Amino acid sequence: MKSLCLSGVQPTNFLHVGNYIGALKQWVEIQHRFPCYFCIVDLHAITVAQDPKQLRENVLNTAATYLAVGIDPKRSHVFIQSEVHEHAELGWILGTITRIAELERMTQFKDKAKRRADNVGVGLFTYPALMAADILLYDTTVVPVGEDQMQHVELTRTIARRFNTTFGDTFVIPQALIQKQGARIMGLDDPSVKMSKSATSTMNYIALTDDDDTIRKKIMRAVTDSGKDIVYDPDKKPAVTNLLTIFHHMTGRTIKDLENEFEGKGYGDLKKALADAVIAHVGPIRDKIAEYRKDPKELMRVLDAGRDAAQELATTKMKIVRERVGLGRA
């Protein structure tokens, strides 16, 4: 079977260091191994209310971010989900074989529904069926994501198997690809919750567009643990563990090496060095995002080409799906 990688991010705000470490950094590496499709999932974004003008801005910012972190448009296809209509069509079809009880078990749904109890749309509930469509439409074998998406990829596998059993072998069963360390970067202001674009405080995350002073300020104010040892210990030292994990991903240095360097030193020393490391790594990404946004021609060209490449595969696959399900006329 041919390997193919697909992943996506919701264009709901500027991407942060958690998105980068958990997902995008893996994408950059994997594109040298497989054909890759990287999607900007705007249909998923509208499962919670978005300002229409801002949403379009966020779509372009997200595309610029993909390129700025090192997605090479000569190798990989970058496209906007809503521009390939087959995503919505297959999402609907898969929704008909997805069970309510399965969707009710999704922790992302439970979290988001809790936060807006009086305003939960049907789309937020069926979100995983659309995500399954994104993945299955392309015969995806590998889905590089952060740990929080594991449950959605598992459900995608269940839906694919069910479709294959009911209608005949149609979909490839995909696999999630999750980092060993850094699959779940925690909030700087609260190491018990994941770093999130929708956090109430901007102190929770480092956006890839934050300027140097903001990055430094956020890291220097980050919550730390009791005691003063700088050691990797997710249970006893969740905050320090999180800072060490970010440090590791920003520099490529091993956790052991970092623990050795900071032995006998204080949290302040760790934070100062980490701020320098994040600024050195994120600064050039931020500048490239700004360049792509200033001259949108290149971005438009990449998104056109990505859409055309995705459309080709989606058209072929949906012909088969419609026939298997018995939709329309022969």
What are the catalytic residues? 112, 194, 197
Which CB sits closer to ligand AMP, 93 or 242?
242
Q: Which is nearer to ligand AMP, 14 or 163 (CB)?
A: 14
CA pair distance 197, 54, nearest whole angstrom: 15
Coil, strand or helix at 142: strand
> Count residues contacting ligand TRP (CB under 6 A)?
14
Which one of ligand TRP, ligand AMP, none is in contact with 80 (Cβ closer than 5 to 8 A by kind)?
none
Rounded CA Rg of the chain: 21
Strands 77-80, 36-40: pairing kind: parallel
CA distance 252 to 234: 20
Give me the 143-162 binding string for ligand TRP, x by CB under 6 A, dash otherwise: x-x---x--x----------
Residue 144's nearest CA partner among 42, 9, 13, 44 is 9
**Contacted by 18, from ligand TRP, ligand AMP, none: CB < 5 to 8 Å by type:** ligand AMP
User: Minimum Å distance from CB 167 to ligand AMP?
Assistant: 29
- List contacts with ligand AMP (CB under 6 A): 9-10, 18-19, 21-23, 145-146, 148-149, 183-185, 194-195, 197
Nearest to 57 by CA among 269, 296, 233: 296
Q: What are phi and psi of 240, to 5 degrees?
A: -65, -40
CB of 152 to ligand TRP, least distance (A): 6
Given the rule CB under 6 A, which of 2-10, 184-192, 207-215, 276-284 is the region that contacts ligand TRP? 2-10
Cβ-contact 184, 147 below 8 angstroms: yes
Q: How many residues does the chain have?
A: 330
x/- map, 19-48, ligand TRP, by CB under 6 A: ----------------------x--x----
